[in-house]
Amino acid sequence: MKLDIIAQIVQILKDAPEVGAIEIRRGLFGAWSSVRVSKAGHVGNSMGAGHVLVSQPTLPASPASRPEGVSAPSGPALSEIKSPMVGTFYQSPEPAAQPYVKVGSRVNVGQVVCIIEAMKIMNEIESEVSGVIREVSAQNAQPVEFGQVLFRVDPHG
Q: How confident is the model over 85-105, as pLDDT tens digits?
A: 999 999 999 989 999 999 999
Query: Does residue 113 surpass a pLDDT of 80?
Result: yes
- Confirm whether 8 is domain-assigned: yes
Indicate the pLDDT class of residue 23, thresholds 50, 70 and 90.
Answer: low
Q: Give the per-residue pLDDT at 32.
A: 54
Question: Which H or E run includes 14?
Answer: helix 3-15
Q: Give the per-residue pLDDT at 126.
A: 94
Cα separation of 20 and 14, whole Å? 9
Query: Does residue 122 surpass a pLDDT of 50?
Result: yes
Cα separation of 53 and 36, whole Å? 5
Q: Are residues 131 and 83 in the same domain?
A: yes
The domain in which residue 85 lies consists of 73-154
Please count the other Cβ atoms lying within 10 Å of the Cβ belonging to residue 37.
24
Q: Are residues 82 and 147 in the same domain?
A: yes
Q: Is the pTM of this model over 0.95?
A: no
Q: Give the per-residue pLDDT at 93.
A: 92
Q: What CATH number is associated with residue 133?
A: 2.40.50.100
Query: Does residue 48 surpass a pLDDT of 50?
Result: no
The structural domain count of the chain equals 2
Residue type (1 letter), 38: S
